[in-house]
Amino acid sequence: MDFALTEEQSMLRDSLRRYVEKEYAFEARRQLIEQAGGFRRAHWNAYAEMGWLGIGLPEASGGFGGDLSDSAILLEEFGRGLVVEPYAASHIQASRLLLHSGDARAAELIEALIAGSTLYAVAHNEPGARGRSLWVETRAAATGGGSRISGTKTQVLAAPSADRFLVSARSEQGLSLFLIDRDTPGMSLREYRLVDGSQAADLSFDQLLLPESALLGAAGKADSAIDLAISAATIACCAEMVGAMEQALWITRDYLRTRKQFGVAIGSFQALQHRMADMYIALEQARSMLYRGLAYAEDGDAIRRRGAVSASKAQVGRSAQYIAAQAVQLHGGIGLTNEYCIGHYFKRLLVLEAAYGSSAYHVGVVAQQLRDAA
């Protein structure tokens, strides 16, 4: 094992940090959420210009090679700075869906994704799924050359800004993926923001007619692409959470050094020192499980991959809940205001904890695997 970053990776991290600190400074981020609705295409274009949309993708499609560990460096920095644009969904998950789709157009589509010229929203999650990666009730029926789809997708991140949607639907043949342009007539979007300011929509399709070209890959054969994409996105989400909780921890440490009550820095109270030590332990446990998850996130053995991914999300989610709650607690009242950063870490971590299945859900997956193996 080797946990050290290469020189290139350190440089990448430094440039990410500089960019995020500037573009997502407290006031800039507030405006991004309140005035720009939680998504700026200019940011996405900047990611493309800086090459950040090519990280971890094959050179053959215009990517820079490397793997999910490289993307994790970016995601940690995005987490640290509370970036609200959904890189895990619109980049990691979308790129894997294209990559594993088996579609002849995949390389070309990935090229446009890397260039930032197509922004994807992944419309896969449904109200009843609650973390289940292959839970799809949206129906697809073949008609003439094309298909008709009906169903509801929920909390589709970046949907209000996306150029195209990657939509999953089920037919007699199994799960299929469709590529739907945003201006397709008959699509209905209900747009809203989540509690962390990120942008989402619910999509509903009522007998939406799609041409044959909308089908991505072979009909009924999308299970494995969907599952692989979710594994990668879940671990990407873990990386973002580790970045966010680490930053929340150090912000709290700094506050405890400066805030005075009873004539001393509150950080001198041993009760609070022990709390911070517990937070630090939770952080290190989360980071270790992120690394373990990265090792298996793209493993071809589905059982092994799912077990590792669930174990990671379970640990990272638990650590995040603890660190977020204690970061607020140790700040006292100031931790509760919208005008101070720590509450925004709390809200962001809540949303990420729920994304791709909560820790309670993923502990259940690990438990189920124990049972299956017995």
Partner 1 sequence: MDLRFTDEENAFREEVRSFIRENLPKPVHAKMLEHRALSKDEVVSWQRILNARGWATPSWPAAWGGPGWTAVQRYIFLDELHQFPAPEPVSFNVSMIGPVIGTFGSDEQKARLLPRIANLDDWWCQGFSEPGAGSDLAALSTSAIRHGDHYVVNGTKMWQGMGHRADWMFTLVRTDPAAKKQAGISFLLIDMKSPGLSVQPIITIDGRHEVNSVFLDNVRVPVAQRVYLENKGWDVAKFLLGNERTGIARIGMSKYLIRRAKQIAAQVQDGDRTLAEDAGFRRRCAEIEVELKALEITQMRVLAAMGEHAEKPDPRSSILKIKGVELRQAASELLLRAAGPLALAAEGEYDPPNPEDAPADTEWGSTIAPVYFILRAASIYGGATEVQKNILAQAVLGLPK
Ligand X SMILES: Cc1cc2nc3c(=O)[nH]c(=O)nc-3n(C[C@H](O)[C@H](O)[C@H](O)COP(=O)(O)OP(=O)(O)OC[C@H]3O[C@@H](n4cnc5c(N)ncnc54)[C@H](O)[C@@H]3O)c2cc1C
> What residue ranges bind ligand X (CB under 6 A)?
259, 261-262, 266, 269, 271-272, 329-330, 332-333, 336
Partner touching 192 among partner 1, ligand X, none, CB below 5 to 8 Å by kind: partner 1
Name which position in 117, 273, 329, 368 contacts partner 1 (CB under 8 A): 329
Single-letter amino acid code for the residue at 182: R
Size of the site for partner 1 (CB under 8 A): 46
354 near partner 1, judged by CB under 8 A: yes
Q: Is 347 in the site for partner 1 (CB under 8 A)?
A: yes
* Structure tokens that stand for 49 in this block: 């210009």
Answer yes or no whether residue 339 interacts with partner 1 by CB under 8 A: yes
Kindly calculate the radius of gyration of the chain based on its CA atoms and give it in whole angstroms: 21
What's the DSSP call for residue 82?
Answer: T
Task: Report how far apart, in Å, the C-alpha atoms of 199 and of each of 15, 30, 34, 221, 333 are.
Answer: 26, 13, 11, 30, 28
Interface mask (CB under 8 A) for partner 1, residues 81-120, using x and -? Answer: ----------------------------------------
- Partner whose binding site includes residue 351, from ligand X, partner 1, none (CB under 5 to 8 Å by kind): partner 1
194 binds partner 1 (CB under 8 A): yes
> Strand, helix or coil at 150?
strand
* Binds partner 1 by CB under 8 A, chosen from 25, 141, 303, 360: 360
330/352 with CB nearer ligand X: 330
What is the Cα–Cα distance from 28 to 48, expressed in whole angstroms? 20
- Four-CA torsion 255, 256, 261, 264, nearest 10 degrees: -120
Residue 234 CB, nearest distance to partner 1 (Å)? 15
Q: Are strands 164-171 and 120-123 parallel, antiparallel or unpaired?
A: parallel
Question: To the nearest whole angstrom, how small is the minimum distance from the Cβ of residue 142 to partner 1?
Answer: 25
177 - beta bridge partners? 168, 216
Q: How far from chain centre, in Å, is Cα 297?
A: 14
Contacting partner 1 (CB under 8 A), which of 200, 215, 219, 286?
A: 200
**Residue 130 in contact with partner 1, rule: CB under 8 A:** yes
Pairing assessment for the beta strands 120-123 and 139-143 based on DSSP bridges? unpaired
Q: What distance in Å separates the CA atoms of residue 214 and residue 221, rounded to the nearest whole number?
A: 15
CA max distance for the chain:
79
For partner 1, the closer of residues 7 and 372 by Cβ is: 372
The residues that touch partner 1, with contacts defined as CB under 8 A, are 125, 127-130, 132, 135, 152, 154-155, 190, 192-195, 197, 200, 202, 260-263, 269, 271-272, 325, 328-329, 332-333, 335-339, 343-344, 346-347, 350-351, 354, 358, 360, 363-364
